[in-house]
Amino acid sequence: MAEGKFDNPVVAALTGFYDRFRKQEMAARFKASDNFDGKTILITGATSGLGFALATETAKRGGKVIMGCRGKIPEAGNKVREISGNDNVEMMYLDLTRISSIHDFTDTLQQNNIILDVTILNAASAASRARKTESGLDELFLVNYFANFMLVNLLIKKGIIKGNGATQPRIIFITSDTHRGCSAIDYDEFGRYFDYGVSKAISNYSYFKLVLNTFATELSGRLNKERVTVQVNAICPGPVNTNIIREIPFLARIALRAIFAMIFKTPRKAAQPIIYMACSDDFNDRTNEYMHMFISKKMDEKVYDAAEGLKLWQESEKLWKQVDEKAVMIELN
Ligand SMILES: NC(=O)c1ccc[n+]([C@@H]2O[C@H](COP(=O)([O-])OP(=O)(O)OC[C@H]3O[C@@H](n4cnc5c(N)ncnc54)[C@H](OP(=O)(O)O)[C@@H]3O)[C@@H](O)[C@H]2O)c1
């Protein structure tokens, strides 16, 4: 059975507390002059928490921002424009639980000739139990891993993220350091819907981050055989005071809200290392990097297992073809 790092949210939060005090060795490298001038940035899940802060901070640094969201259109975009003073902010409908929405979203980007310089895959579900989506897949599996597999493949296939261009586009996966120590990928469970409750949901959250990081590593290898053409990196923001615990049972939620408010970082602060990774020249010609806040690290060693990356890709491809007649992967080579 797939096993995540924690099945108790309070224990997970207290681990985050310890992370808060680690030395942020790369913070000094992030310059006030680092910016997104002339760049187009997509951020998924940009209506709240970290995603909203990322949209605002990106707009403040001069980017054209596309917020891929399933709600709060246009309010969240208006707020980003107001806070950042940048009008170059667009909201586009994207519901990662609906495969048709992922197709519609990428079709619209293509029809509007949008080329993405930076793609930040931030959206995540913190569902507190199994929930079947319209494709029959489980919501946590879909939003936290599989939708990202489909979305990235479509963005590349449709030329919205273009390798071999004048500059290296950047793909950034927002992950969690709790992926470390999760079980290896369980292919009996992979894509299969079954009922589970809150403990397994919390455990799955970190487990799907391990799956996501394994995908990021495989994707990076595929896109960058001889040289870096598309940077594919991953980052954990550390503990952030957001609404991610909205579905946790009431009493635990009360305790967690207090812990979050007192000791977790604000979304704006937590966004800074991600903005650094998204715009600093320090990342030129670098791919498959991982940062935990402003600390450069290796991911769990399972993530770098080439056989595992290949298997994950193949199983994902097989599943996509089963659930979507419009499935199109970037070529295997
Ligand atoms: N908070 C932390 O301590 C922490 C720590 C490590 C990593 N992270 C990661 O940081 C990222 C952002 O999380 P957060 O803490 O900011 O949580 P959050 O406030 O709950 O934000 C999650 C975002 O994802 C969106 N989303 C959820 N399901 C979606 C769907 N089906 N389609 C499209 N968008 C969907 C949400 O939109 P709606 O508003 O429509 O639901 C929301 O905008 C996640 O990847 C999370 O795993 C967070």
pLDDT recorded at residue 113:
97
Q: What is the pLDDT of residues 267-283, one digit of tens each?
A: 999 999 999 999 999 99
pLDDT recorded at residue 192:
96
Only one residue has tokens 């394994």, namely 214
292 three-class SS: strand
pLDDT recorded at residue 221:
97
Is pTM beyond 0.75? Reply is: yes
Q: How confident is the model at residue 264 (pLDDT cuts 50, 70, 90)?
A: confident
Q: What separation in Å is there between the alpha carbon of 45 and the centre of ligand 1?
A: 6
Q: What is the pLDDT of residues 172-200, one digit of tens each?
A: 999 999 999 899 999 999 999 999 999 99
Sheet holding 118-121, edge to edge: 89-93, 64-69, 40-44, 118-121, 170-174, 231-236, 290-292, 295-297
Atom number, ligand 1, closest to the C-alpha of residue 46: 43
Ligand 1 pocket test, candidate residues 19, 47, 50, most atoms within 8 A of CB:
50
**8 A C-beta contact, residue 240 and residue 259:** no
Asked, as a colleague might, if the bond just before 74 is cis with ω within 30 of 0, I would say yes
The rounded mean pLDDT for the chain is: 93
Only one residue has tokens 């966004």, namely 271
Looking at domain 9-323, what is its CATH homologous superfamily?
NAD(P)-binding Rossmann-like Domain (3.40.50.720)
Q: What separation in Å is there between the alpha carbon of 129 and the centre of ligand 1?
A: 16
pLDDT recorded at residue 255:
76
pLDDT recorded at residue 197:
94
236 Cβ below 6 A of ligand 1: yes
Q: What is the pLDDT of residues 202-255, one digit of tens each?
A: 999 999 999 999 999 999 999 999 999 999 999 999 989 998 878 777 887 887
**8 A C-beta contact, residue 259 and residue 14:** yes
Q: Where exactly are the structural domains of the chain?
A: 9-323
pLDDT at 11 over 90: no
95 Cβ below 6 A of ligand 1: yes
Q: What is the pLDDT of residues 58-97, one digit of tens each?
A: 999 999 999 999 999 999 999 999 999 999 999 999 999 9
Q: What separation in Å is there between the alpha carbon of 124 and the centre of ligand 1?
A: 4
pLDDT at 332 over 70: no
